[in-house]
Amino acid sequence: MQTQPTIDYALHLADSALILGQRNGEWCAHGPILEQDIAITNITLDLIGQSRLFYQYAAACMNESGTAEATEDTLAYLRTERSFKNLLMCELPNGDWAQTVLRQFFFSQFQLLLLEQLQHAGNEQYAAIAAKSIKETQYHVKWSSEWVIRLGDGTAESHEKMENAVNALWMYTGEFFIAADYEAVDVAALKNKWMEAVTAIFEEATLSMPENTFMQTGGKTGTHTEHLGYILSELQYLQRTYPGAEW
């Protein structure tokens, strides 16, 4: 039988993927170029797919311990603001294309390092989901880092927009590396590698690394920004309006 931390951790990973997927999904049909509309939508689909795997695992653990009749949908659609455990960065509004691709890069680069560790965290289910998700995430890192470089080193306007994006998002990166008590991967140990990867891409993008920024926290333990409530209102609307209906 799996313990509460295992369930919470699966929910944390699922929530981050779902909420970022939900945000990226807002670009679908509104992207700057048709090819990129398709690309970001691909990433959205991957993230929602990953969230489903983690929710399904969490549901299986919960049902096994007899605490509830959980499914991927009850977990995504019937939990409330304070029980969502996603990283704060995932719930921020998309902003412009610069902010969207930078967020994707920060998140995916972190997720990639995390999934690599998750393969060896002594849990077969986690290992299987991680193995499946790594390939997708490698592509997300490649796609998003190329955009960070392209915009950073593109025009004066795009460079400025990238700098604004860095300023807006950097304070949400600290939370990645502060472990919640349920985490099965030593996230603090990922920080150096993540910084190295980001530094390398920023260098190519002619962007400077921010220093000494105050870091926001709280997502992992359910203290969110004001944005999450609105995301859940939309996401959960049909399940809340028609309780018990099947779709």
Partner 1 sequence: MELYDLEKKFQEKIEKEIKIEPRDWMPDAYRKTNLRQISQHAHSEIVGMLPEGNWISRAPSLKRKAILIAKVQDEAGHGLYLYSAAETLGTSREQMIDDLHSGKAKYSSIFNYPTLTWADMGAVGWLVDGAAILNQVMLCRTSYGPYARAMVRICKEESFHQRQGFESLLVMSQGTEAQRAMCQDAINRWWWPSLMMFGPKDSESTNSDQSMKWKIKRKTNDELRQQFVDMIAEQIKLLGMTLPDPDLRWNEERKHYDFGEINWTEFWNVVKGNGPCNKQRLEARNKAHEEGAWVRAAALAYAEKKRVRTTAKVA
- Interface residue list for partner 1 (CB under 8 A): 18, 22, 25-26, 28-38, 41-42, 44-45, 48-49, 51-52, 55, 72-73, 76-77, 96-97, 149-151, 153-155, 157-158, 161, 234-235, 237-239, 242, 244-247
What's the DSSP call for residue 66? Answer: T
Would you say 1 or 33 has its CB closer to partner 1? 33
Q: Could you tell me which of 247, 169, 245 has the C-alpha nearest to residue 202?
A: 169
Q: How far is the CB of 97 from partner 1 (least distance, A)?
A: 5
Q: Choose between 40 and 184: whose C-beta lies nearer to partner 1.
A: 40
Return the axis-axis angle of helices 156-169 and 124-152, rounded to nearest 10°: 140
Give 150-181 as a DSSP string: HHHTS-HHHHHHHHHHHHHHGGGTGGGGS--T
Which residue do the tokens 């779709």 mark? Answer: 247
CB of residue 1 to partner 1, shortest distance in Å: 25
Q: 137 with 115: CB under 8 angstroms?
A: yes
d(CA 93, CA 70): 29
Rounded to a whole number of angstroms, the minimum distance from the CB of residue 196 to partner 1 is 23
Nearest CB to partner 1, comparing residues 20 and 113: 20
Smaller CB separation from partner 1, 200 or 237: 237
CB-count burial class (<10 Å; 0-12, 13-18, 19+) for 208 = exposed
C-beta of 42: minimal distance to partner 1 in Å?
Answer: 7
Minimum separation from the CB atom of position 242 to partner 1 (A): 6
Cα 209 to chain centroid distance, Å, stands at: 22
Which is closer to partner 1, CB of 43 or CB of 190? 43
